């Protein structure tokens, strides 16, 4: 293993922490841009509680609402413009991953005179990697992406039908104020998708990473087992604060760099899913739930030992040897059953995709990201035909 670990986000975690928002913000700026999604925070009282805390701390704020799921670059531009026009010096992202991602890119766009889409990784030309951003404070209302404590953001361009990512150290939020109570109102389907998203973040690193990462494997298995224990409880009873708390912490750890430190793998399932969402505005983790088990069956033929370990340690199967493909496949079946049991789709026919576009989906995915041989990074690296096979 050969790696660096850096995560400067100050994590403030616990029930009731929302009331500290004003104090936290006042250490980073005087006027905040408060970024929100399609209105859930206004309907459930979170917005009023957040603004009351800001006012109590003497903070003023401007608003950018209406960030859509699969946030669009046009929304990013609108938010950056408001921040400039209103003289904001700090950004608050109050919402799900979409709101947090849009807010992060607004923060970088604030300092960038070119088109903010230049910052998003979408093949050639090479993206403009931002080096400067307004301070961002994330306040997640949905446990899923881990965006609250990482340096990534995923943005869509509806005109070009592209959805892709930007990663830059300046995008790490200064602080993540994580109050699990805010997730009590998340609907059942989004709760299940959140569990699937966090599981996929961990399985991508687990299966695509380099060999010999025993401690990272154990971290990953811990996150998987925790999510599989508490996720169904949060799905069954959305008011179960303990379950919400455990799922939210798992979602943060799954993608804040700690579990996958040193694994150095690709995220092929995510890359394929982003293409489908770009075309059809699919909920991110609904797409992952379909693609991940299919990708696992494809990848297990190339690296059965890791899938055997997964089957043994997660589901308690006993393999005949480290290359026991039957055991590996049984583990994948059980994983898929779990996703189904919490209400995720597991077949492409359950999503609004177009079977006649498989070749285009594969080509678009590769256009966004490919290695020197033109393949999608991962274990194994995937050709156009491999991607089509997984979709089929
Ligand atoms: O928009 P509002 O009205 O707030 O409603 C949202 C939205 O409809 C709703 N919601 C959020 N919190 C709620 C709530 N409803 C009731 N009560 C609450 N407390 O849930 C819906 C989905 O929200 P969204 O933010 O889109 O979901 P999620 O957090 O799953 O974020 C998905 C986005 O993040 C990207 C995805 O690609 C997708 O665009 N990702 C970002 C990553 C990152 N930055 O590291 C990594 C991920 O792999 C992912 O790609
Ligand atoms: Zn994801």
User: Ligand 1 centre from 383 Cα, in Å?
Assistant: 30
Residue 268 burial (10 A CB sphere; 0-12, 13-18, 19+): buried
Asked if ipTM goes beyond 0.85, one says yes
Q: Which residues contact 349 (CB under 8 A, 6 or more apart)?
A: none
Tell me the per-residue pLDDT of 224-265, one tens digit each, with 9 for 90 and over.
999 999 999 999 999 999 999 999 999 999 999 999 999 999
> Which ligand minimizes its atom distance to the CA of 96?
1
pTM score of the predicted model: 0.98
Place of tokens 């996703």: 339
User: Ligand 2 centre from 194 Cα, in Å?
Assistant: 9
Q: In whole angstroms, how large is the CA radius of gyration of the chain?
A: 20
Tell me the per-residue pLDDT of 112-144, one tens digit each, with 9 for 90 and over.
999 999 999 977 677 899 999 999 999 999 999
- Nearest residue (by CA) to ligand 1, atom 3, is 38
Instruction: Report yes or no: 342 and 235 within 8 Å, Cβ to Cβ.
Output: yes
User: Which contiguous run of DSSP H or E holds residue 307?
Assistant: helix 304-315
Indicate the top mutation candidate among 284, 285, 291, 369 to test ligand 1's pocket, ranked by most ligand atoms within 8 A of CB.
Answer: 284
Q: Find the mean pLDDT for residues 313-334.
A: 97
Chain-wide mean pLDDT for the chain? 97
Structure token pair of residue 261: 């430190």
Q: Is 270 in the pocket of ligand 1 (CB under 6 A)?
A: yes
Q: Find the mean pLDDT for residues 63-91.
A: 98
Indicate the top mutation candidate among 40, 162, 205, 292 to test ligand 1's pocket, ranked by most ligand atoms within 8 A of CB.
Answer: 40
User: Ligand 1 centre from 132 Cα, in Å?
Assistant: 25
Query: Is the per-residue pLDDT at 359 higher than 90?
Result: yes
State how far the Cα of 178 lies from the Cα of 166, in Å rounded to an integer: 23
Helices within 4-122 (DSSP H only) = 21-26, 40-43, 46-56, 73-85, 97-109
Q: Which residues contact 291 (CB under 8 A, 6 or more apart)?
A: 269, 272, 273, 276, 390, 391
Instruction: Report yes or no: 221 and 314 within 8 Å, Cβ to Cβ.
Output: yes
**First-last CA distance in the chain:** 35
Residue 1: its pLDDT value, please?
85
């Amino acid at each position: 293993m050969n790696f660096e670990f850096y995560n400067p986000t100050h994590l403030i975690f616990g029930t009731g922490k929302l009331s500290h928002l004003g104090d936290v913000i006042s250490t980073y700026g005087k006027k905040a841009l408060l970024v929100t999604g399609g209105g859930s925070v206004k309907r459930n009282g979170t917005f009023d509680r957040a603004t009351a805390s800001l006012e109590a701390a003497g903070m003023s704020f401007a608003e950018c609402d209406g960030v859509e799921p699969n946030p669009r670059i046009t929304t990013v531009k609108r938010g950056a413009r408001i921040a400039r026009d209103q003289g904001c010096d700090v950004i608050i992202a109050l919402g799900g991953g979409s709101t947090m991602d849009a807010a992060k890119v607004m923060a970088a766009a604030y300092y960038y005179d070119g088109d903010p889409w230049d910052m998003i990784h979408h093949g050639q030309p090479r993206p403009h990697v931002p080096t400067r951003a307004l301070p961002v404070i994330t306040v997640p209302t949905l446990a899923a992406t881990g965006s609250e404590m990482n340096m990534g953001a995923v943005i869509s361009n509806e005109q070009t039908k592209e959805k892709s990512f930007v990663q830059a150290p300046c995008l790490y939020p200064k602080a993540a104020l994580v109050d699990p109570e805010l997730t009590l109102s998340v609907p059942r389907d989004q709760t299940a998708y959140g569990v699937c998203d966090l599981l996929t973040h961990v399985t991508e690193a687990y299966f695509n990473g380099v060999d010999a990462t025993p401690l990272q494997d154990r971290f990953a298995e811990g996150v998987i087992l925790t999510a599989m224990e508490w996720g169904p409880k949060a799905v069954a009873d959305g008011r179960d604060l303990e379950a919400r708390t455990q799922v939210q912490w798992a979602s943060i750890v799954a993608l804040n760099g700690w579990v996958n430190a040193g694994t150095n793998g690709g995220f092929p399932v995510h890359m394929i899913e982003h293409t489908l969402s770009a075309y059809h505005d699919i909920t991110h983790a609904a797409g992952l739930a379909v693609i991940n088990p299919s990708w696992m069956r494809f990848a297990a033929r190339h690296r059965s030992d890791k899938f055997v370990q997964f089957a043994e340690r997660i589901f308690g199967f006993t393999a005949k040897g480290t290359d026991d493909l039957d055991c590996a496949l049984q583990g994948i079946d059980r994983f898929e059953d779990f996703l189904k049991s919490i209400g995720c789709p597991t077949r492409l026919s359950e999503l609004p995709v177009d079977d006649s576009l498989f070749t285009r989906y594969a080509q678009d995915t590769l256009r966004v990201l490919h290695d020197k041989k033109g393949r999608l990074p991962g274990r194994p690296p995937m050709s156009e035909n491999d991607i089509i096979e997984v979709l089929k």
